[in-house]
Amino acid sequence: MSFLNAEEPSACDLVTDFGINILWHPSLGMELGDNLQKLLKSCASGQTALDILVFEGSVVNAPGGTGEWNRFAGRAMKDWVRDLCKVATFVVAVGDCATWGGIPATAPNPSESQGLQFLKRKAGGFLGTQYRSKAGLPVINVPGCPAHPDWITQIVVAVATGRGGEIALDDFQRPKTFFTSFTQTGCTRNMHFAYKVSATEFGQRKGCLFYDLGCRGPMTHSPCNRILWNRQSSKTRAGMPCLGCTEPEFPFQDLAPGTVFKTQTVMGIPKDMPTGVEKSGYIKLTSAAKAASPRWAEEDLFVV
Amino acid sequence: MDDSAAREEVRSLLASGLVTEVFPRADSQDDALAITARLRGADGLRQKLVIAGFTLETIVYAGIEQPCSTCMYFLVHRRYCELSELKLPVEPEWSCRLWRM
C-alpha cells in the first residue's frame, strides 16, 4: 500500500518512464483466481521472465512448518516464495515483515514467521544465508513499517535500469544509500538534542523526543528526515518519536506495557544510547550541554 | 503564585525538616512509572515533594551526581522542573529520585 504513494518516482513512472511491466500487485494486479495461479506458475516454470520479485509480508511457516496458516493462490504462500525466489533475477524484501519477520515474528512467534533472509538480527531466515538470486545477489532488504514508498521505487528502478549490481548493501542487506545515516540526520529537533532540552509531551514543538518519549532516531538507520514522507514531513518533525522500525529488533522490548513512547533508563541513564556514545561520555556531555544551553532552546521558536 | 514564591515555599518545606522518600531511587523504568503514578494521585505540594524524594542538596547515587541541573526535565533558565507530574520551580543543586538524563 505504501508503494502506491510513491512520488519520486511514482508507481506510474515505473511503467511509463522506465518500461517496467508490473506482472502482479495486490492492488494493481488484474489477474484473479485461476488466472493468477496460471501467471504464478508461468513465472515459477520460467515461461514468464521474473526480473524482480518484490515480496512483502513475513513468511509464515505455521502450523508445523506447513505454512498453511497463510495460503495464497491455492497453496501455502511460503511455497510460492520458494519457487519464485529460485527463478527471480533480483529479490527485494519490502517492509519489516519480509526483511526480519517483523511484528508477527515477535516472541513467542506463534505463526513461526521469518523474513526472507533474516529472523530479526539473525541471518538465515526462510531462504538461508547462502541464497542468491539469479543475478548473484542476496535479497535486497528495504525495511520499515511501512517502508517509505520512494525507497521501494528507487531500488526497483535501479535494478530495472541495470544498476542492481551497484547497490551497496550493509550487514543487514539494506541499501547503504538509504540506511547509513540515522533517522536523526536532518531532524529539525537536533538543536534541542544538542542542548539536552527534552520534549515531555506529545505535540510540543520544542524539545528533543529522545530523552523522555522514547525516540530512537539517534540509533536507527533510515533517511526519514532526508527523504521526507509525502515529501512534506517526518515522524519526528511532526512531534512523534521514531519507533526504530527499520532495525531488526523492531518492535523493541516486545511492546511490553510502559515501554512504548518512553525512554527506557537504568539508574536515570538511557538504556539505549545514541549509536557510538559511551555512558561516561554521555554524562559529561549532558552536564556541559545543559549548562551551556541558551534561553531560546527552552522556548517554542517554531512558527507556522 | 509566581515561580519565585513557589520555589521559596518548596525550600521552606524542605528546610523545615519535611521527610521525603529519597530512596529507593527510580532505578528502572518500572520504578519511575510507579512513582509517577503515585504523583498523579498526590494531594498538594507537600505530598508531591515527599513522593518524589526531593532534597535541598544533590544526591550522589551509584557514583553519579543527580542534581536537578543535569536532569532532562530541568529548564535551565527558568529553573523549573517540567516533568508533567511535578511542574515545580526548583534550584539547580536540588535533587529528586526521578532524576534522569
Per-residue pLDDT tens over the stretch A92-109: 999 999 999 999 999 999
Chain B residues close to A212, C-beta within 8 Å = 72-73, 100
ipTM surpasses cut 0.85:
yes
DSSP state at residue A105: G
Within this chain, do residues A194 and A257 fall inside the same structural domain, yes or no? yes
Q: Choose among A198, A262, A269: nearest Cβ to B73.
A: A198
Q: Which of A144, A177, A210 is the last residue of a domain?
A: A177
Q: Residue A158: its pLDDT value, please?
A: 96
Within this chain, do residues A11 and A79 fall inside the same structural domain, yes or no? yes
Question: What residues form DSSP beta bridges with A59?
Answer: A114
Statement: residue A299 has pLDDT above 90:
no
**Mutate: best of A192, A209, A265, partner B, most B CBs <10 A:** A265
Taking a C-beta distance cutoff of 8 angstroms, is the pair A243, A250 a contact? yes
More confident: A259 or A41? A41
Within this chain, do residues A155 and A89 fall inside the same structural domain, yes or no? yes
Taking a C-beta distance cutoff of 8 angstroms, is the pair A53, A90 a contact? yes
The rounded distance, in Å, linking the Cα atoms of A239 and A205 is 7
Cell of A242: 521514531
CATH number of the domain encompassing residue A230: 4.10.480.10
The rounded distance, in Å, linking the Cα atoms of A101 and A94 is 11
Statement: residue A303 has pLDDT above 80:
no
Q: Residue A61: its pLDDT value, please?
A: 98
Number of domains chain A is built from: 2
Q: Residue A220: its pLDDT value, please?
A: 98
Residue A64 lies in a domain: yes
Chain B residues close to A196, C-beta within 8 Å = 72, 101
Statement: residue A259 has pLDDT above 90:
no
Residues near A108 by beta carbon (within 8 Å), at least 6 away in sequence: none
Contact B72/A at CB under 8 A: yes
Within this chain, do residues A137 and A286 fall inside the same structural domain, yes or no? no
CB distance B28–A265 less than 8 Å?
Answer: yes
Q: Residue A201: its pLDDT value, please?
A: 84
**Mutate: best of B3, B29, B85, B86, partner A, most A CBs <10 A:** B29
Within this chain, do residues A141 and A90 fall inside the same structural domain, yes or no? yes
The rounded distance, in Å, linking the Cα atoms of A245 and A95 is 9
